[in-house]
Chain A
Amino acid sequence: MIEPIGHVRAGVRPAQPRRRSHGAAAWGKWAAVAVLVVTAVVALFPMYWLFANAFTPISGTPPLTPILVPAFRLDNFARLLGGTKYYANWMLNSLVVALAITAWHVIFDTMAGYAFAKRRFPGRNLLFWVLLSTLMIPVHVTLIPLYLITRRIGLVDTLGGVILPGTAVVFGIFLMRQYIQTLPSELEEAARVDGAGELRIFWEIILPLCKPAVASLAIFTFVRFWNDFLWPLIVLNTPQNYTLTVGVANLQGEFMTDWGVIFSGAALAALPTIVFFLAFQRYFLEGVRMGAIKG
């Protein structure tokens, strides 16, 4: 099913030193590095260009000669924050949404993952398979009923309406189940023999042991919902309540001619996840590997 993490970890091992290579092999290695560098430049260029434009004063249409070296000035950002009433609101809204959903998943996915991994109870396999099978369902199928449900409980155009459906993503349960399965059961059993309650066992033994997996899950969830677009676009309709992605998408309509503002708005929205990634890239890449579900 899910790739066992120990097995995957083997991939992190550094390559063994090779025998002194012959001229041809060394040449091949440099050719490989050259290809990789060129690809990395292509991969990073759009992001670079976005930031280079954001930091160069542009009012109206950008110049015909592309800005390749940024001027490192904040004019566009000043116009963005002065001209759009709500940019700060959008950032705050995105933060609230992403943090609330992340908190939910860290706690409840770990609990569910623990139950599915370590405890035997009637219906366990059936429930797990029901959850697993719905991973295949595209969110687009549920959009309309979700909208109708959100309307019925009066949460359209509120952050609550953005947050609630986000708690129903089951991906984290598999990630945590898969990690917790690799943990030894002895500590937990010893604590039980000593008379510790189930909640205490969970809080004081299971959760601390899950730190690396929880870190990956938290980072993944945060970035995913910080970046989420389609559902917030559907459920939010007054500018004050927008999340960042919806707000930035609307900048294009609102400031049709002031590209400096659009560039800086988009760059500022991208910045947190980039900084986040640079700080925690180990957890990110580990999370990608852990999240890969086999067959």
Chain B
Amino acid sequence: MTGLRRFIRRHGWSYAFILPSLITFSVFVLAPVVWALVISFQEYSLVRGGRWMTPFYKNYLTAFTQFGGVFVSAIRNTLIYTVFTVTSNILVGLVLASLIQPLSHRLRTFFRAAYYLPAVTSALIIGLTWAYIFNAQWGFANYVLRLVGLPPVRWLSDPDIALGSVTLSAVLTVPATAVVLFSAAMGSIPREYYEAAELDGAGPIQRWWHITVPLIKSTTLYLVVIYTIASFEVFERIYVMVPSGVGNSTQTIVTQIYNNGFKDLNFGVASAQAFVLFVMIAAVAVVQFRLLRSDVEY
């Protein structure tokens, strides 16, 4: 028996099991990523294909300079949105999970389900619903303001406010994944720790701060990373809440990629912008790995 035949007999099935996934992965993820990198250095036209540019980084330059620096505003808007959304999501998730934890099994299940329910609806429809709530004439937000005697606000059309309204809608959406994961992490902390601390005379807040919070650190870090990445990629919410944009004030990185790529068919610049997003996400991931390396497992 030749070596190759023996190899196939021993390992053929293993490769057969992963082959379908590997094929679609190569065609629809791996090849596109490499191609996108190539296109980001090219002038790409649907008719003529790609042509290399001089200097090779011209698309990256254009990405940052075209239309009076709208991409810089987009990055700034995305970062503002991310800082507020991630901070509030982590804090709200932590507090809600902590409050749920001492409840009975049935109540815990109930609240986790109630918080998770909106998360199974598409981001598009959630965004659409918030667009209704923030409608200047008949939206619920202005109705509440009228009730307490305040003037109506142009939530989604005032350039100074629109980004804040979109961010507010994300802040007011309960972070479902955070509640579920924090809750699971808290449940797996050994009870003896709390009992020992209680014997030492630590109150509930002290026990929470000195036992719960440190022991769920890796979950916190994981959630910070996934929420940061999700916020960097915000699109649907913007797309339906401020469809035509309020000047530069509601542009985000992905709306810029979408506009340049699929409205203006400027594939080179859109790809360059996509790689800027990629680098930002990679940076977040690297920080996560660094922090986790020093993590203590229990």
Residues of A within 8 A of B (CB): 7-8, 10-16, 18, 28-29, 32-33, 35-36, 39-40, 42-44, 46-47, 49-50, 53, 61-66, 108-109, 111-112, 114-116, 119-122, 124, 127, 130-131, 134, 136-138, 140-149, 151, 164-165, 167-168, 170, 173, 198, 202, 223, 226-230, 234, 245, 248-249, 252, 259, 262-263, 266, 269-270, 273-274, 276-278, 281, 284-285, 288-289, 292-295
Contact = CB atoms under 8 A, between A and B. Distances in A.
Contact of A108 (B21, B111, B113, B262): B21
Interface in B112-139: 112-118, 120-126, 128-130, 132-133, 137-138
A64 B243 CA distance: 23
B180 interface: yes
B172 interface: yes
A234 B28 contact: no
B233 A140 contact: yes
A252 B33 CA distance: 34
27 contacts: A7-B188, A11-B187, A14-B105, A32-B103, A33-B103, A42-B174, A43-B114, A44-B118, A112-B21, A119-B14, A121-B11, A138-B233, A140-B274, A142-B29, A146-B32, A148-B35, A168-B27, A229-B122, A230-B235, A248-B125, A274-B120, A276-B120, A284-B120, A285-B116, A288-B177, A292-B219, A295-B289
B177 to A, nearest CB: 6
A43 B261 contact: no
Interface residues of B, number: 104
Contacts of A18: 102
Contacts of A131: 25
Given A138-B281, A281-B113, A15 B103 contact: yes
A112 B18 contact: yes
B31 interface: yes
Nearest to A139: B233
Contacts of A14: 104-105
A263 B129 CA distance: 9
A43 B173 contact: yes
Interface string B263-298: 000010011001101100110010011001001000
Instruction: Give the most central of A47, A170, A270: most B CB within 10 Å.
Output: A270
A40 B111 contact: yes
Given A112-B18, A141-B275, A8 B184 contact: yes
Interface class of chain A by DSSP? helix
Interface string B13-32: 11101101110110111111
A12 B183 CA distance: 9
A141 B36 contact: yes
B31 A145 contact: yes
A270 B122 contact: yes
Nearest to A128: B18
B132 A49 contact: yes
Contacts of A32: 99, 102-103
A142 B180 contact: no
Contacts of A40: 111, 114-115, 174
B254 interface: yes
A292 B137 contact: no
Nearest to B285: A136
A114 B18 CA distance: 9
Interface of B: 10-11, 13-15, 17-18, 20-22, 24-25, 27-33, 35-36, 39, 44, 46, 92, 96, 99-105, 107-108, 111-118, 120-126, 128-130, 132-133, 137-138, 140, 143, 172-174, 176-177, 180-181, 183-188, 191, 204, 218-219, 222, 229, 232-233, 235-236, 239-240, 243, 254, 257-258, 261-262, 267, 270-271, 274-275, 277-278, 281-282, 285, 288-289, 292, 295
Contact of B274 (A49, A138, A173, A245): A138
Contacts of A164: 24, 28
Contact of A284 (B13, B96, B116, B138): B116
Contacts of A252: 128, 240, 243
Instruction: Give the most central of A65, A131, A234, A262: most B CB within 10 Å.
Output: A131
Contacts of B288: 295
Contacts of B27: 149, 168
B104 A15 contact: yes
A270 B125 contact: yes
Contact of B138 (A66, A108, A116, A277): A66
Contact of A289 (B32, B184, B235, B261): B184
The 8 A-B residue pairs with the shortest CB-CB distance, nearest first, are A11-B187, A227-B122, A14-B105, A168-B28, A145-B32, A11-B184, A142-B32, A115-B17
B210 to A, nearest CB: 19
Given A121-B15, A168-B25, A248-B124, A53 B36 contact: no
Nearest to B221: A295
